[in-house]
Amino acid sequence: MEESLTPPSDEPAVEFERRVYVPHYEGWTAQIKTSWDKDYCYTKNPGEDYFHLLLCGEVYLVNAEERLCLNCAKRRGVITDDRLYWQRGVRRAPPPAF
Ligand SMILES: [Zn+2]
């Protein structure tokens, strides 16, 4: 079966893309917060003077130095919902190691 990156024509288009990609993934891991401890995203939105509280059950990204909510990761360019990012010169991921 031929692999396609576009949905078949009889499949409705996704209204809001929830699949996200980390083009430069080295050092990053995706985690799910499993406690109600007060942990905060390390970044603020421009113009805001508070950090984002991460909720129990929330998916977030971590690397050695920081923890980011997905909104900040998107704004910072760490994640993208552009499935074709690899075609746009962002990066071509190396083959998976087995
Ligand atoms: Zn944030």
Residue 13 placed within a domain: no
pTM for this predicted structure = 0.74
User: pLDDT band at residue 29, thresholds of 50, 70 and 90?
Assistant: very high
Residues linked to residue 67 through DSSP beta bridges, in sequence order: 62
Residue 23 has pLDDT above 70, yes or no: yes
Residue 11 placed within a domain: no
Strand arrangement of the beta sheet that strand 59-62 belongs to: 29-32, 59-62, 67-69
- Domain span holding position 57: 29-87
User: pLDDT band at residue 86, thresholds of 50, 70 and 90?
Assistant: confident
Q: What is the pLDDT of residue 95?
A: 46
Q: What is the pLDDT of residue 70?
A: 96
Distance 35 CA to ligand 1 centre (A): 18
Distance 96 CA to ligand 1 centre (A): 30
Residue 6 placed within a domain: no
Distance 75 CA to ligand 1 centre (A): 9
CA-CA distance, 7 to 74, in Å (whole number)? 24
Please state the rounded mean pLDDT for residues 21-27.
94
Residue 12 placed within a domain: no
Residue 8 placed within a domain: no
Residue 44 placed within a domain: yes
CA-CA distance, 76 to 45, in Å (whole number)? 10
Total domains in the chain come to 1
Distance 4 CA to ligand 1 centre (A): 33
